């Protein structure tokens, strides 16, 4: 499937169960999602497993995706939360939690599944609005660098601007998103999203 396929069209096709659309989204974003998971977990092997979980979750939720919302935002929110959950579980296991308590925790996690999915959707929607509010070139630079993993040099060549301009746009756009999140999100969502921006999208 051509790389120039409009994202909203890819999401629309994915929502109908189109495998080619899923492959298109996977190949467009999987490398950057994997790199971001590695930043948090520090475990390349586990990052591979979490990457598969993220895209499996995308496939499961395909019929509830909105064509006017960014699938990239959804992927980054879900991958961040899954990475943090992995670290929390790893820390918990290091304290040798008794089996009965561990089993109880698993039950609680299962029961909370629906709430967690709703939180992911809420956080992705906030990020989508924040990115959508960015001025034209800042938005384009942000998406190319942070969602597709392109280097400032690559983006500068694509857009016909200087590398320094790309870096400036990236820094400014990230700050604008942080400000929007702080002003509009509840404390829990703001904490997650600002943490994600710091880890995944901090200006280099």
Of the candidates 45, 125, 50, 121, which has an alpha carbon nearest to the alpha carbon of residue 80?
50
Number of folded domains that form the chain? 1
The boundaries of the domain holding residue 30 are 7-200
Share of the chain above pLDDT 90, in %: 37
pLDDT digit string (tens) for 39-78?
Answer: 888 889 999 999 999 999 999 989 888 877 788 888 988 9
Residue 176's pLDDT band (cuts 50, 70, 90): very high
Residues 100-128 have a mean pLDDT of: 63
Task: Evaluate whether residue 192 is within a structural domain.
Answer: yes
pLDDT band at residue 24 under the 50/70/90 scheme: very high
pLDDT of residue 195: 80
Instruction: Answer yes or no: is 171 within a domain.
Output: yes
Q: CA distances (Å), 43 to each of 33, 48, 195, in order?
A: 14, 9, 19
Inside any domain, residue 144: yes
- Which of the residue ranges 43-47, 92-96, 106-110 would you say has the lowest mean pLDDT? 106-110
Mean pLDDT of 13-42: 91
Task: Give a yes or no: residue 2 inside a domain.
Answer: no
- Position 5 scores a pLDDT of 63
In a domain, 45, yes or no: yes
pLDDT for res 36: 87
Q: Is residue 1 situated within a structural domain?
A: no
- The answer to whether 38 and 199 are in contact (CB under 8 A) is no
Q: State the pLDDT at residue 66.
A: 80
| Burial of 204: CB neighbours in 10 Å, binned 0-12, 13-18, 19+ | exposed
Tell which residue, 123, 126, 43, has the closest CA to residue 83: 43
The answer on pLDDT for 91 being more than 80 is no
Higher-pLDDT residue of 95, 190: 190
pLDDT at 125: 84
> In this structure, is residue 83 part of a structural domain?
yes
Q: State the pLDDT at residue 111.
A: 46
In this predicted structure, what is the pLDDT of residue 168? 95
Residues 22-33 have a mean pLDDT of 92
Q: Return d(Cα 149, Cα 157) in angstroms, integer.
A: 15
pLDDT tens-digit series, residues 1-11 = 545 467 888 88
């Amino acid at each position: 499937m051509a790389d120039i396929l409009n994202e909203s069209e890819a999401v629309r096709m994915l929502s109908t169960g189109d495998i080619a659309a899923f492959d298109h989204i996977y190949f467009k974003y999987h490398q950057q999602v994997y790199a971001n998971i590695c930043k948090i977990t520090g475990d390349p092997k586990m990052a591979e497993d979490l990457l598969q979980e993220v895209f499996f979750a995308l496939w499961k939720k395909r019929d509830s995706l909105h064509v006017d919302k960014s699938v990239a935002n959804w992927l980054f929110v879900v991958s961040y939360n899954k990475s943090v959950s992995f670290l929390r579980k790893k820390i918990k296991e290091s304290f040798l939690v008794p089996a009965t308590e561990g089993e109880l925790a698993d039950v609680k996690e299962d029961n909370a599944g629906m709430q967690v999915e709703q939180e992911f959707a809420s956080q992705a929607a906030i990020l989508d609005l924040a990115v959508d509010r960015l001025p034209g070139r800042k938005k384009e630079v942000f998406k190319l660098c942070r969602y597709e993993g392109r280097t400032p040099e690559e983006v500068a060549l694509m857009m016909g601007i200087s590398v320094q301009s790309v870096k400036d746009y990236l820094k400014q756009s990230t700050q604008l998103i942080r400000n929007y999140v702080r002003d509009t999100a509840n404390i829990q969502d703001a904490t997650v999203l600002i943490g994600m921006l710091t880890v995944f999208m901090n200006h280099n």
